[in-house]
Structure 1
Amino acid sequence: MGFNISGLAINKNYENNFEDLQKELGWNLERQSEINFETASSNWKDEGICDVYFSDQGTLIFINMDMCTDTYGVKSDNILTFTLSETSTAYIIVYTENNIEKRSIMEVNGDRMTNKGERLEVEDKSEDAPDIIWNQVEFLLGKPFLDIDPNEKAVRYIFTKKNIEEENNSTANIKDTIPTEISSNKDHYNKSDKKNKEDTITSYRLDKPIFKEDLSNKFTDRELFKYFDKIITFAQQKGLNVFLNPSVHTSDSRRFLNLFNIVTEISNRGNLKDEIIKRMPLERFKLLCRIDPKSLDQKTKTLMMNELVMINSREYKLGLIKSASNKKRWEFWK
Structure 2
Amino acid sequence: MTSWRDYTDEEDETLTIALGPDDKSANGFDHSSRQTNVALGAGPDPANNSFSVKIIDSNISPARPQITLSAGADIEEGEDAVFTFTAKPAPTADVTLDFDISEPIANAGDFVDTAEEGSKTVVLKKGTTTVTYTVSTVDNNTDDNQGFIRATMNALATGYTYTNQRVNLTVNDNDDPLSPSVIITESGSGTTVAEYTDGTQLTDSYEVKLATQPTHDVTVTATLPLGSGASVRKSGGSFGRTVTLSFSPSGSTIWSTAQTVTVAGVRDDVDNVGDARTATIGHAATSTDTNYAIANAGTVTVSITDDDTAGVRLSESARTVGEAGGTSTWTELEVSWTAPSNTGKPAIA
Same fold (TM over 0.5): no
TM range (shorter): under 0.3
Determine which structure has more spread, i.e. the larger CA radius of gyration.
2
TM-score (norm 2): 0.22
From the two aligned structures, give the one with the greater helix fraction. Answer: 1
Of structures 1 and 2, the one with the larger relative CO (CA 8 A, separation 6+) is 1
